[in-house]
Structure 1
Amino acid sequence: MNEKLKQQLAKTAKTLCEYYGIADQTNRVHTLLPGVRIFRIDRYHRLTPQMYEQGIVIIFQGNKIGHLNQHQFGYDVERCLIVTTPYPISFETFASPETPLMGINIDLDINVIRELVSIMQSEHPYWKTEDTRCGVATSQMTEAMYLCMLELLSILHNPLDTKVLGTALLRRFFYYLLQSDQGYLLAHYCEQDSSLAKIASVLSFIQGNYAQKLNVNDLAEMAGMSVSVFHKVFKQVVTDPPLQYIKKIRLNHAKNHMLQEGLAANLAAQRVGYESAAQFSREFKRYFGVPPSRIDENAGFISKSNNGYMK
C-alpha cells in the first residue's frame, strides 16, 4: 500500500473518531452501520489477555503483537486480523497520545459470506486447504481492500450514505478478503460440515453457558465427534484443550464483572461458575499476572461502553 493511501486512511479515521466523540480517549463505539465499530487507543498496553469476538479487525494507524499459546502474530496497517471463533488472546498494543492506534471491528455476516462462497466456488475451485487449523490469523491487506475501507470510513458520518451504501461496501470487502491468503478461514467458517464450523458452534454454546458445569463428553457429542477426535480438533482450532479454554473464558468474564460492575472477587468467581474463591484467586493471578485485588493494573483496553471486549 502506498504512503499516500496510508495517510488518507489515518486522516479519515481521525476525523471519524472526532465525529463519534473518541478523539481524545481510549474507547470503542458503535458506528451508524450495524456490525461495525470504531476504536481508538492512546497509550501503550503491555501483553494483556483479552477476549476477542468473531470478526475482522482493521488498523489504520498503530500496531499490535499477539500471543495465542505457541502462535505469535502481528497486525497493523498492512495486515488485518481474522477471528472466526471467540478467543482469549494476549496482545501487546503500541500506541501513544501523539500517535494513537485507530481501527475498526467488522462482525462476520455469515449469510453474505456464504452467498459469496457459493458464487466463487461455482467459478473456481477455491479453499481446498485442510480446515482443522487455528481459527485466528492475520491476512495481507491489498490496495483494493484499503480503497474499499477508505470509502467505508468516508460515509460513516452520514446516516443516509451509510444506510444506502454501507452494506454493499461490507459485501465487497468480504469478497476481497475471501480472495486473500487466509480466505479459507471465512469459507470454512460458513460450511456447516467443516471442523471449524462444528467447533465454532461448540464455542458459542460455551460462551452462553460458561458458568454451568460443562462436560467434555457432551461437548464432543454436540460437535458430532468422538471424545478423542474432539480433543484433537478442538486444540487444533482453539490451541487450548477444552477445559483450559473454558477456564480462560470464565476468568475473562470474571475480570469484566469486576471492572465494569465493581463486583468483589468472590462474587465474580461465583458468577462465572467457581465454587472455590481460593482456587479462583490462584488461577486468576496465574493467568493475568496480578491478583484480583489489583486487577485495575491489568485492565487493558476495556470500558463500559464496549461491553468489556477488546479487539
Structure 2
Amino acid sequence: MREIAELMGRLAVNEGETTTGIPGVALHKRTENICRTPLLYQQGVIIVGQGAKKVHLADTVYTYDPDHYLVLSVPLPAECEAVVHPDEPLLSLKVDIDLHMLTSVIDQMDEAAPGCPARPCCRHQGLTLAFADAPFKETVRRLLCALLSPREARVLGRGLVRELLFRIMCGENAASLYALAHKNTGLSRIDKALKQIHCNFSQPCSVEQLAGAVNMSTSAFHRAFKDVTSLSPIQYLKKVRLNKARSLLVEDGLRASDAARQVGYESVSQFNREFKRYFGASPRNLPEINGR
C-alpha cells in the first residue's frame, strides 16, 4: 500500500527516530545503507513502509519489508543490515507492546470464541516474522493518519494501537505474544528474567540466581532462555552490556574506561577486547562504528 509509505514520509521528516503524540509509537527514517552491525532490538512491533531490512539472529536471517512485519516479544541483541536507495529512504513504524493492553485484547478474543484454537503451534521465539495482510495494513494506515493530527492522536491513538494488537493476534505468528501475556509459560518467565537483566546489567549475575527468580531449575531455565533468545544467559548479558556501553560512548561521550565500569566490567582491557570483537572496531574508533 503506497499510501503507508507516503504517510510515514510525511511524519518522519528528519533522519533517525521521530516520536509521536501516542506514547510508545515512533517512526524511523534512514537514508544511508546499514552494513551488518550488532544492535539491541527493543520489545515491540516494527512495520516497514518503504525499503527492507535484514535481521541476523543465530543462524537465521529475517527480512522485513512492506509485506512482512517483525514482532519482538522480548528485547534481543541481534545484527541488522539494509540497502537503502538514494531516492527512497528506509521508513518504519515502531509500536511498543503494552502488556496490559495485550492481555485485555487476548481475554476479549477468548471470551468471544471460547475454546477456539487461536494459538498457532510453533516455538515461542523472541522474534517472529508475520505477513502483513490487508486488514493489518488498513489499521496501520488509519493509525498513521491519526498521527497527522494531535487531536486525533490523543483521542483515537490508543484505540488504534489496540486494534493493531488485535490484528497481530489474528495473524499467523501470534503464539509468542500469547505466551508473553500468560503467566507461567516459558516465554513469560524468560521475559521476567530479561527485565531483571536489563535493570541490573552492571551487577554480577549468575544463571542460578536468574533461574531461582523465575522458579525454574537451572537446566530448564537455560533451555528456555536459549529457545527464546537464541543465546545463553551469559552471552545475552555480555551483549546487553556492550550495547549499553556503546550508547554511553556515543550519546554521553564517556571514555572507554568509564563506560566499561558503568556496565559492569572490572577489567578495561577485557572490555576493549570484547568490544572490538563484537563491533569490529575499538571503543576509540567511534566514527568507524557509526558509519558502518
Q: Which consecutive unaligned segments of at least 5 residues does structure 2 have? A: none
Q: Which amino acid aligns with 2:177?
A: L
**Counterpart residue identity of residue 36, structure 2:** L
Question: How many angstroms does 1:125 deviate by?
Answer: 2.5
Residue 193 of structure 2 is aligned to residue 193 of structure 1: no
Aligned to 1:113: 102
Q: Are residue 99 (structure 1) and residue 88 (structure 2) matched?
A: yes
How far 1:295 moved relative to its partner? 2.6
Give the residue type in structure 2 aligned to 1:251: L
List aligned pairs for 1:167-246, cutoff 5 A.
Answer: 167-246=158-237
- Work out the CA distance in 2 between the residues paired with 1:264 and 1:187: 43
User: Which residue of 2 is the match for residue 251 of structure 1?
Assistant: 242
Quick one: distance in 1 between partners of 2:207 and 2:52? 37
- Following superposition of structure 1 onto structure 2, how do residues 44-193 of structure 1 map, counting pairs within 5 Å? 44-122=33-111, 123=113, 124-127=116-119, 129=121, 133-193=124-184
Alignment partners' CA distance in 2, 1:96 and 1:294: 27
Query: CA offset at residue 133 of structure 1?
Result: 3.0
Which ranges of 4 or more aligned residues in structure 1 deviate by more than 3 Å? none
**Aligned runs of 1:36-47 on 2, under 5 Å?**
36-47=25-36
CA deviation vs aligned residue, 1:144-175 (integer Å, no higher than 9, x gap): 11111111111112111111111111111111
> 1:299: how far off?
2.3
Q: Which amino acid aligns with 1:65?
A: K
2:11 maps to what in 1? Answer: 16
The letter of the residue matching 2:117 is P
TM-score normalised by the chain length of structure 1: 0.90
| Residue matched to 1:33 | 22
SS of residue paired to 1:51: strand
Match of 1:7 in 2: 2
Q: C-alpha displacement at 1:300, in angstroms? A: 6.3
Separation (CA, whole Å) in 2 of partners of 1:300 and 1:158: 35
TM value normalised by structure 2:
0.95
Q: Matched residues in 2 for 1:245 and 1:300: separation?
A: 25
> Displacement, 1:128?
5.5
1 or 2 for the larger relative contact order (CA 8 Å, sep ≥6)? 1
Amino acid in structure 2 at the alignment position of 1:213: P
2:276 to 285, 293, 308: 285
CA pair 300-238 structure 1, distance change in 2 beyond 3 A: farther
1:49-83 CA distances to partner (integer Å, 9 max, x unpaired)?
Answer: 11111100001001101101122111010111101
SS of 1:293's equivalent? Answer: coil
Output the CA distance in 2 between the equivalents of 1:181 and 1:120.
15
Supply the AA of the counterpart residue of 1:139.
A
Deviation per residue, 1:166-204 (Å, 9 max, x gap): 111111111110011111111111011111000001001
How far is 1:96 from its partner? 3.7
Secondary structure of the residue that 1:129 maps to in structure 2? coil
- On the 8 A contact 2:272/2:282 being kept in 1, the answer is yes
1:16 and 1:98 mapped to 2: Cα distance?
A: 17
- Quote the sequence identity (%): 31
Deviations 1:227-248 (A, max 9, x none): 1111111111110001011000
Residue matched to 1:274: 265
Q: State the alpha-carbon separation in 1 of the partners of residues 117 and 104 from structure 2.
A: 15
Quickly say closer, same or farther: Cα 1:133–1:121, change in 2 above 3 A.
same
**Whole-Å separation in 2 of the counterparts to 1:69 and 1:291:** 23
3-state SS of paired residue (1:212)? coil
Tell me how far apart the structure 2 counterparts of residues 165 and 128 of structure 1 sit (CA, whole Å): 30
- Show CA shifts across 1:195-219 (max 9, x none): 1000001001100100000111110
CA distance in 1, matches of 2:192, 2:71: 17
